[in-house]
Structure 1
Amino acid sequence: MTIDRLERRQTEDLDRSEEQFRLLVEGVTDYAIYMLDPSGYVSSWNAGARRIKGYEPEEIIGRHFSQFYTEEDKGGDLPARALEIAASEGRFEREGWRVRKDRTRFWANVIIDPIRAEDGTLIGFAKITRDITEKRQSQEALERAQRELFQAQKMEAVGQLTGGVAHDFNNLLMAILGSLEIAKKRALAGQNNTDLIENAIQGAKRGAALTQRLLAFSRKQELKLEPVDVADLVKGMAGLLQGSIGPSIEIVTSFPLALPKVQADANQLETALLNLVVNARDAMPRGGVITLSASKQSVHRDDVKDLQGDFVCLSVKDDGDGMDAETLEKATAPFFTTKGVGKGTGLGLPMVQGLMAQGGGALALRSSQGGGTTAELWLPLAEETESVEQPPLQPSILSKRSERRLNVLAVDDDPLVLMNTVLMLEDLGHQAMQAYSAEEALRLLEQGPLPDLVVTDHAMPRMTGGELATEIARLLPGLPVILASGYAEIPGGVSCDLPRLAKPFTQSQLAESVASAVS
């Protein structure tokens, strides 16, 4: 075969290959594949472009490709920017709305690739457009269904939560209202009503405890995090724990000789541990053994509740009947309980879970049918810093402080709470002014005389107690303010050094807070 015949054969093969490729591109109907010149004018048009965009070749070839874009995109100069990005970066890809010949819109996936000559000169662009409207609609329908499902689940959870709270508070309010009504009648008749008042106080305390559980569950309870020795804490609770479970159950402890301190709220940790021990007791109605143990462990993100780092794991293990997988999954759901009607609020484990999460740790439950249950408290280690113990205040100092008569401005938008706070202050020997809003408090301060102290609620409309404290610090620096709130989260801008009084508070807690604020 001569060289001329060989070259002719290669040329024919190349022409045939190019023709096959041209027919392939022109025959594709699922993709709009066409060419643009360097300025963006259409130079070729395949069957897919005709089907998707609605133009015949003679209607579109020679016209600028920007007419496929929406007015919004053209206003943002997207067609020109698309070509610039393709030319500079070697590719442009994006999803967005495009316009057909009949001006209807479709959601498109667009790819633009630059075409260059052998010397690198830009000679045009290859543009591929795919109509993915149905895919986008399916995705939107799926996301909408997921949102609706989430909303339904959220409403179900809210219904369970409010129903449980309403049930428990109804019982407490019945005790309080009933006791106070009878106490009022006895008082008018000159009879002793101490027992009824005590009953109302106990009901109110139970209501406060329920509120604290709800705050712990929602992770909005104020925690006093400090280094805690777990072994010492458990040892100090020995009598309380044994008294809570009765003589038919034995408590066994297992702690290493050296265990690092953890960062926790000691009081809340005691409450959490007591809850777990009581749960373990209830899981063994015929008696058994509860094992309390602790150890230092390093965990990775996949091990326990997305934790990572070094922790102390404090566990409570019982040898009861255990839980099946379905019950274990629901165990930390609010108001879920296996103890029967009236025997449990179903807030114990959610409270513990909230406390652990708020303190940077986690609650983990391990159980199997017939294999008992182990509840684990994963507690972060305390920072190793030297702590200087503050000497306790002497009773004589406290009594001397309490004898000082103060002029106190009490602020609260709830008239009942405000009246109660004023009565407490006056009963302590102080003189009390009152304001029903932060704005009214500022007017009183402007009019004078100035009080020695301001005690304000935080959650108030228009201006919060925290904002009032900030304004007082600006206008009257040096005037002490106590912020009363049941929540741990105070918005930014409020000084972290501001004295706090946790709601609901007793008279003794108010007295202590007042004495501390003016010392």
Structure 2
Amino acid sequence: MAAMIRTHDWASSPLGPIEQWPQSLRSIVSLMLASEFAMCVAWGPELGFLYNDHYARILYDKHPAALGGRLDVIWSELWSDIGPLVDRALAGKASFFENLPLVTNRKGYDEQTWFTFSYSPVRDESGAVAGMFCSTYESTERVLIERALRDERERMGQMFAQAPTFMAMLRGPEHRFELTNPGYDKLVGHRPVLGRTVAEALPDAVEQGFLELLDHVYATGEPFTASGMLYAVQAAPGGPVDDRYLDFVYQPIRDANGAVVGIFVEGADVTDRKMLERDLQALNADLEQRVRDRTQELVEAQEALRQAQKMEAVGQLTGGIAHDFNNLLQGITGSLEIVQRRVAQGRVGELDRFITGATTAANRAASLTHRLLAFSRRQPLDPRPVKANPLVASLEDLLRRTIGERIEFEMVLGAGLWTTLCDPNQLENSLLNLVINARDAMPHGGKLTIETCNAHLDDHFAASQRDVRPGHYVCVCVSDTGTGMSADTISKAFEPFFTTKPIGQGTGLGLSMIYGFARQSEGYAKIYSEVGQGTTVKLYLPRHYGEAEQDEPLPGLTQDHVTDAGEIVLVVEDDAVVRSLIVEVLGELGYQAVEAHDGPTGLERLRTMERIDLLVTDIGLPGLNGRQVADAGRAMRPGLRVLFMTGYAENAALAAGFLEPGMSMVTKPFAMEALATQIRTIIEG
């Protein structure tokens, strides 16, 4: 106070010299100066204003001029709010206000600053009210903390209400409901529970032992967890009982000292999951029984099914084989007719070519018969020295027929291939089975490759395989780009009757027969495959150090282009013998014959040649079939006359719906005179 007196002249203030201040005022000033709170006093009728350093910060730029001044003048901008409080204190009544914002735009304070203060009357020595005393402190931090806590409580309350699980808070040893969420209300049938104890609100839970669990948690402080516990809910007295299965936990709530003061309940209704598990168990039991019953039925039908599947496997080949047989017969009968005509004409100089063609076709027919016998296991084993390359090449036509037009086919026959000792018919049968398997593994098309090569299996490789002897082998490899096999399937593939094909589409004997053939030939069979990447099957047949039997060479593909005057006929036929016979007849008749060995080549001739009077085409062609070639040709050459050839009897039977005006059909085997008559008739219209 002395410092303030020395600093400021009080003589001119309404309070007068300090020596004249009443003792009560001096005591209050001393208290103010020693306090850590902001304090002020207004004394006398003039409301002389005194305050301590803490209050000075509230005054900001009004200090120190405000010291000793009039209160109503200093706070003139707030007097409408402060004046009534001062008047109340001067009337002898105290006032208290908590957490009020200081409304001022002065630097240092804004509307986010709160104060708590009190106004009290101050009396002189006579007991009369002589002034007003104010004590205040800033409560901004407490206000902000309380606001944050309130917001957090609201947020937690929203989360509590929106939780997908059920929740409740119980207080005290009697377990009184303090809070529940909608999930808990639904669980107990929306019965009123708040403010009531568990015993009062849920007598059914008490009967089922839940109260004892709560008591144990409250007494020991140990949480309790349950999984799939049955709770029979009765929403109303005397009402229906609904069995529910619950996963839940009772978690103790502790105070600041660690004492248990309540229990937090949280969990989920898992009734639907329990019902699903029960239904699934019943379904599994039923399925197991049905599987046992079905397995017994399959075992009983096994023998009949095996025989039916064998016949089905043979039936898959009959269409292509019939076509090949008719082509062979056409080569035989056609060649003999030309020989007969040439003899009658006295032209015997070229008979050898046609006799050779007929003999070759007959030998091929005999070979085809042997293949069928081998496939049906009616041919006795006959191991002999075999050159694999000519044998594989002789199967090309049959294999192309078997796989169809959507699969690209390639043969890669190794040079200098060794001779092997095996049953050639069994080797042919094995290749046919492998090609059929590869075809079935490529339902949407792909590429099939047959390769031959010499191979040496060393000691290291032989030791890693079972029953494999090291040495020199001839390797025949069939690869496809199909669906492939898993490691588990590969491990079972050579087992008899194992098949991945649907019932009725495979015997499960093909690969086991191939494996048996390789083992009986003192060779080896190996499968390499990955799912989605295709399959490769390799047959290793031991090298034979003798000479192989010589086979009749097959006639090569010829291209005869007759330039005599006459109509131009395009002949599209993939069988070289049949094609050469037709070209020969056309040449003798004065036509100009142009050859094509497959559908795309025939279509190219139609696109590039200036004149074509007649298209003679086989229906079954690689690349494009005969009807596709004819339709494309007519699109480029309207009115093009077409003569179809077919080796399938069913195609001939459907000729009435198949042919359009300007088209005709001839069925193999046909006589050369019949072909000449058909050609003359269709050209003349």
Higher Rg of the two aligned structures: 2
With normalisation by structure 2, the TM-score equals 0.26
Using CA pairs under 8 Å that are at least 6 residues apart, name the structure with larger relative contact order, 1 or 2: 1
With normalisation by structure 1, the TM-score equals 0.34
